[in-house]
Amino acid sequence: MSHWQELERKYYMQTFERVPLTIVRGQGARVWDEDGKEYLDFVGGWAANILGHCHPAVCEAVTKQVQTLIHASNTFYTIPQIQLAELLVKNSCFHKVFFGNSGLEANEGAFKLARRYGKLNLKGAYEIITANDSFHGRSLATIAATGQPKHQQPFTPMPAGFVNVPFNDIEVIKKATTPQTCAVMLEPLQGEGGVTAAHEDYLRAVRAWCDQKGILLILDEIQTGLGRTGTLFAYEQYGIEPDIMTLAKGLAGGLPIGALLAKDKAAVFTPGEHGSTYGGNPVACAAGVAALTFILEQDVPANCRKMGQRLMAGLQSLKTKYPFVTDVRGRGLLQAMEFNRNIAESVKVACMGRRLLVNRLKPNTLRFMPPLIINRDDVAEALGILDEVLGSDKLEPSADNH
């Protein structure tokens, strides 16, 4: 354990199961550790470094902005905030935007907005239906929305007003809908829950059901948005439009930000009902404008589709070659590989030894969420390393939850 890792043990709350690697520098899809060793990064800042590390467009915009105006407060108008809101509205089906600093804040905003809508239009309805195996954040309300007992049980009682139902089943949503229901909230592709895509007919049926009942459809695109699944937003692939959407992770090219987007009919906040000191601050928004402009002008989603296809094809041939690989799935550059036993930790560690960083999503599942700007060589390199690792006979199943 290195000096810094020992200090972390001593001074930082032990909330993370960290990989024994201290990253000191990043460029594109590569990072370097304390000893100057280089790694190919298929964790990508947990899907936040959409444009890779230290992208020049983002660095330039941030440098300029920190020398001009770092923070002013939302009492005043600031230009990058308005520019980013305009860009988002012009490139989505939404009409209004609110910025926070993280994904969970965007989702908290969505809950409040849905409850306001319920008070104004649905006789006070306040319940939000969400899916099992979803992930919506780490605050009390967002873990109540997150349909995973392991996130809820240590912190009960949960805030009221959230109903978790099985994913990809329209009938359970219909059954769970009551006069108290104001919204349904889903991820189009569950990231943390297992890289599980919503079926096309499911999401369409949910949309139709929400229309029929006059309730809101909220999509959490914090992980899937900004090109990750091959289109700017994943909802585009389903031929539906949500009423509310949340974004975060990649939106500011690696700086902290969250965004709540809504159609006019759902954008019902009035002055004083919601706010944030740092939300929409000039630096994060300037980074967001630079990142989103690059994504749009360079058609980053197209590269994501192409590289995603190569990665999927490669993972599929590894599945054919190694019978203990039982499934590969995902869209664009959000993919997973599942094994017939709990060797994901062992595979992850062996990959790291060969200078490839991947995420162990579950004891038997790896996740790949590289920057969307990776090229063919990066994909080939990652697949080559995986092949070597899967072909070695040293893969040990891990104890219980690893």
Ligand X SMILES: *Cc1c(COP(=O)(O)O)cnc(C)c1O
Report in angstroms how near the CB of residue 332 gets to ligand X at its nearest.
Answer: 14
Cβ-contact 293, 251 below 8 angstroms: no
Site string for ligand X, 16-45 (x = CB under 6 A): ------------------------------
Q: Does 188 bind ligand X (CB under 6 A)?
A: no
Site string for ligand X, 191-210 (x = CB under 6 A): xx------------------
Report in angstroms how near the CB of residue 390 gets to ligand X at its nearest.
Answer: 27
How far is the C-alpha of 391 from the C-alpha of 402, rounded, in Å?
A: 21
Residue 394 annotated among the catalytic residues of the structure: no
Question: What percent of the residues of the chain are helix, what percent strand, and what percent coil, each to the nearest 5?
Answer: 40, 20, 40
Q: Does 222 bind ligand X (CB under 6 A)?
A: yes
Looking only at residues 98 through 157 of this chain, which bind ligand X when binding is defined by CB under 6 A?
102-104, 107, 135-137
Identity of residue 322: Y
Residue 249 annotated among the catalytic residues of the structure: yes
Catalytic position from the list 98, 135, 233, 269? 135
Toward ligand X, which CB reaches closer, 226 or 240?
226
Residue 238 CA from chain centroid, whole number:
18
- Peptide linkage before 157 cis (omega within 30 of 0): yes
Report in angstroms how near the CB of residue 221 gets to ligand X at its nearest.
Answer: 8
Question: Which positions ≥6 away from 276 have C-beta within 8 Å?
Answer: 74, 99, 100, 101, 105
- Number of neighbouring beta carbons within 10 Å of residue 203: 24
For residue 57, give the nearest of 371, 290, 296 by alpha carbon.
290
Site string for ligand X, 80-109 (x = CB under 6 A): ----------------------xxx--x--
Q: Does 187 bind ligand X (CB under 6 A)?
A: yes
Residue 368 annotated among the catalytic residues of the structure: no
Identity of residue 217: L
Report in angstroms how near the CB of residue 228 gets to ligand X at its nearest.
Answer: 10
For the chain, what's the residue count? Answer: 402
Residue given tokens 């038997």 in the structure block: 364
- Residues classed as catalytic: 135, 220, 249
Residues that bind ligand X (CB under 6 A): 102-104, 107, 135-137, 187, 191-192, 220, 222-223, 248-249
